[in-house]
Structure 1
Amino acid sequence: QKLAKENEVRVRVGQAPPLDLVQVEAEVADRREGLIRARAAAEDGEDRLRRLIMDPHDASFWQVRVDPTDEPAGRDALPDLDAIVAKAIDGRYDVARARNDVANAATSVEYFGNQKLPDVRLETSYRGSGLGGSQLLRTGVFPGVITGRADSGFGDVLGQVFGRDYPTWSFGLTVSYPLGHSYEELSAVRAGVERRQAAARVASLQLDVAAALRQAARQIRSTAEREDAARAGAALAAERSRDEQRRYEAGLSTSFLVTQAQRDLLQAQVSLLQATFDYQSSLVNFEALQLAPPLTAGESIALQGSNVVPLPTPAPRGLFRPGAGTGF
């Protein structure tokens, strides 16, 4: 906008053709459209972050501004990758669960292997009996003559049972052995196959863990190099924009070259922000892979413990962050 005002003055006094003013005004309109899109994208991102770190039941949920107050932390050297891979293989829950599957499969193999052995069973039992009630006493030849009566109560019956007056003993020995292709043999074979499959899954999972961590470490290195290159490019673009502005003020450049330098500076700063974001994301991904496998479709994560700094709604400040350059 400042450049457009300067061109308008120059065109009015005859120092620049009207085409320069039209070109600058078209650039201003294009950047205004970019600003509107960027502001909408920033508000969408703010809403997504608000849902992750704030309580939706809070009355000021939609009114609080979420504005980062700190720059990304400095870089730390990567620790020993081999040690991290070994620790992740021992500590990740999916690997531990796969190892438990192997242990369960080994238990099944042992169980079905025992089922193939001969089955020998020794059975013994004891039963005591007792008689109670009224008994008629007889003498003589059958049917005899009733000479008296003997009564036995419940206590007498219990005494006969526990006194082993009428014992009954039984013993038994049973031997069984499966012949041919029995169910137990098939079950043992299936359990052995399942154990080998579980062991193969553990080995494959360990390879996946190592490959994922090595790839994440390479991603950290590459994004760090990209950030360095983008920062150098942004610094050079800012210097070129300042030089082009001074040349324009001295009458040695045109508005087209000035707007082109500003556009290059904007692209360089956006590339730097993207590279910084990719580097921080690669760090988070590298740490997450040490504890859990990557998220699949339908899964999500939640963030807790973040501090929110309430800020008043600021006036529009252009496409650049404070201290990162000038707007349009």
Structure 2
Amino acid sequence: MLRPTRATVIVGTLTTLALIVPACQSPKPWDIDEQVGYDYSTAPRATVDMAPDALEDADEPIVPDSDEPLTLSVEQAVFLTLQNNRALRIQQYEPQIAGQFEQIERSRFDPLLYTDLVYSRARTQQLSPEIGATFDTEREAVGADVGIRQRLPTGTELGAELSHDWLRSDRTPDDQHEARVGVSLTQALLRGRGRESNLAAIRQARLDTLASEYELRGFAEALVADLEVTYWSYVLARREIEIFDSSLEVAQQQQRETERRVEVGVLAETELAAARSEVALRREELINARNNAEVLRLQLLRLMNPGKPQWERQIDPIEEPTIIDVELDDVNDHVQLALRQRADLNEARLRLEQRRLDLVRTADGLLPRLDLFVTLGKTGFASAFGRAWEDLDGRGYDLAVGGQFEYALGNRAARADDRIARFSRQQASEAVGNVAELVQLDVRTAWLEVQRAREQIAATIATRELREETLRAEQEKFRVGTTTALLVAQAQRDLLESQIAEVRAVVTYRQALIDLYRLEGSLLLRRGVEAPGAQPRAFNGE
């Protein structure tokens, strides 16, 4: 009968150690990054910032430590928001946290180094059949093991171990030492055999990381849109203050003119009520406009968070509510862009891929467990520590080959898990279709709003010009005494409304463009903002 020699066992043990220890850098079949299809070491840091060339045409904003006003363009306001907004800072941690769960899943395939050290002492009684009497026996032992093992994506578990046992007993004159070198291999033949099922948890964790990046992108896109909409609302509010302030001066001048005419008897005293009412109304509107601008200023400061002290700091926007000529593409082109770029739709696609991996995992769970194991060891016996290791080429060895089978009768839990995974995948598929429909509705509605807002500008300009002519005519009639102060005040009020409507139409048009870009997922790209999730990802099995 053939027996393994000490040299054979030692060579086999060293070979196993050479396979296990460098497993994290080795090629197939245990290179986890290669098996998963993504190299985590090259993953970009999940940050959101403006590209270097995004502010080429505008100086980088300077935030003084004093209470000097902030003079900002919309690009500079976006820059400050991306640098300082606290909510964005909080959100940027999510991909980093999700990435650590991926590392936890990867740790299942890390090499495991273990060691055991056991000391035992016992006193027992034994019956001697030769003399028919009992006697006490004392026994003292020390055992030490050191080994390494690793689980591979192929369903294989490799192991290597060195052990030494020392035994002392009052029934033997000498100490007994046993040294052993052993290797083992266990291979899953059914459940846990395939790479797809063994790597499913890592791939799902990776998808969670990517999903958090899409969430970060969607949050950043909404934040930039909120900032720009608030910025233009603030511009509109300041312009309304100027218009109301100017109209108040006109109303006061009209009141003084009416009072002079009443004094000389040209007009009846009843004409004063209309003039004074118009002045009071202008003051009321001016107060409301100033309060609205103050609220918007505080909202801008909260979004940009430019430093302390901040709540009292004034903001001077340098942008003017001027008409910009943007030629929109066909609505179907914007829809196609949104179907490719929208962060929430891409995240829904990731969730669908996760459900597919659930099916892989639960299908593996339906299989019975059948493992093949092989262990090989070489032992040496002696009365001294060193001689026990020298005796490894002696007669002592152990060899075990076998299998283990396990199956739950009915397998109800595994079958239920599989059904849940199938229903969840169908649900995720429906969710992707639902989100895609909502994306198309959002983009088409926003595209129509841009068209409406653009046409509304021309209409408000025409209305304002006609009301200017009407006011001039009423004022001329008032000078010659053929009209009343009430009609002049009404004409002034109509002109004021048309002036504000014109500015509001321009701002609404710009805000409609911002909303369209946000809904199609291109706002960050158009603003030169770099953020994770810029392009959809492709995965194994899609």
TM-score by length of 2: 0.47
1:248 aligns to what?
A: 478
Instruction: Report how far residue 57 of structure 1 moved.
Output: 2.4
> Which of 343, 348, 371 is the equivalent residue of 1:93?
343
Q: Do structure 1's residue 131 and structure 2's residue 381 form an aligned pair? A: yes
Instruction: Provide closer, same or farther for how the CA distance between residues 164 and 194 of structure 1 changes in structure 2, counting only shifts above 3 A.
Output: farther
Please give the alpha-carbon distance, in whole angstroms, between the structure 2 residues aligned to 1:21 and 1:70: 38
1:324 aligns to what?
A: none
1:82 aligns to what?
A: 332
Please give the alpha-carbon distance, in whole angstroms, between the structure 2 residues aligned to 1:54 and 1:178: 60
Please give the alpha-carbon distance, in whole angstroms, between the structure 2 residues aligned to 1:69 and 1:174: 76
> Which of 114, 117, 126 is the equivalent residue of 2:367?
117
Q: Do structure 1's residue 56 and structure 2's residue 307 form an aligned pair? A: yes
The amino acid of 1:119's aligned partner reads R
Please give the alpha-carbon distance, in whole angstroms, between the structure 2 residues aligned to 1:164 and 1:101: 60
Please give the alpha-carbon distance, in whole angstroms, between the structure 1 residues aligned to 2:347 and 2:402: 46
Q: Do structure 1's residue 212 and structure 2's residue 463 form an aligned pair? A: no
SS of residue in 2 equivalent to 1:66: strand
> Which of 268, 271, 277 is the equivalent residue of 1:20?
271
SS of residue in 2 equivalent to 1:112: helix
CA contact (8 A) 2:341 2:522 kept: no
| Structure that is richer in strand per residue | 2
Q: Do structure 1's residue 171 and structure 2's residue 401 form an aligned pair? A: yes
Instruction: Provide closer, same or farther for how the CA distance between residues 273 and 124 of structure 1 changes in structure 2, counting only shifts above 3 A.
Output: same
Please give the alpha-carbon distance, in whole angstroms, between the structure 1 residues aligned to 2:342 and 2:323: 27
Instruction: Report how far residue 186 of structure 1 moved.
Output: 1.8
> Which of 521, 532, 541 is the equivalent residue of 1:291?
521
Please give the alpha-carbon distance, in whole angstroms, between the structure 2 residues aligned to 1:78 and 1:288: 15
The amino acid of 2:414's aligned partner reads E
Q: Alpha-carbon deviations, 1:215-251, whole Å to 9, x = none?
A: 1111112222233222211111111001111122223
RMSD: 2.7
Q: Alpha-carbon deviations, 1:186-210, whole Å to 9, x = none?
A: 2111111111111111111111111
Q: Do structure 1's residue 156 and structure 2's residue 407 form an aligned pair? A: no
1:200 aligns to what?
A: 430
SS of residue in 1 equivalent to 2:326: coil
Instruction: Report how far residue 84 of structure 1 moved.
Output: 1.9
Percentage of pairs with the same residue = 27
Unaligned runs of 5+ in 1: 134-152, 294-302, 306-328
Output aligned runs, 1:1-40, within 5 Å: 1-40=252-291
Instruction: Provide closer, same or farther for how the CA distance between residues 56 and 188 of structure 1 changes in structure 2, counting only shifts above 3 A.
Output: same
2:321 aligns to what?
A: 71
SS of residue in 1 equivalent to 2:308: coil
Please give the alpha-carbon distance, in whole angstroms, between the structure 2 residues aligned to 1:32 and 1:237: 22
SS of residue in 2 equivalent to 1:225: helix
CA contact (8 A) 1:50 1:66 kept: no
Instruction: Report how far residue 18 of structure 1 moved.
Output: 1.0
SS of residue in 2 equivalent to 1:131: strand
Please give the alpha-carbon distance, in whole angstroms, between the structure 2 residues aligned to 1:265 and 1:128: 103
> Which of 171, 185, 200 is the equivalent residue of 2:415?
185
The amino acid of 2:443's aligned partner reads L
SS of residue in 2 equivalent to 1:72: coil
Please give the alpha-carbon distance, in whole angstroms, between the structure 2 residues aligned to 1:63 and 1:157: 83
Instruction: Provide closer, same or farther for how the CA distance between residues 261 and 128 of structure 1 changes in structure 2, counting only shifts above 3 A.
Output: same
Q: Which runs of 4+ in 1 moved over 6 A?
A: none
Unaligned runs of 5+ in 2: 1-251, 530-542
Q: Do structure 1's residue 226 and structure 2's residue 456 form an aligned pair? A: yes
Q: Do structure 1's residue 106 and structure 2's residue 336 form an aligned pair? A: no
1:322 aligns to what?
A: none
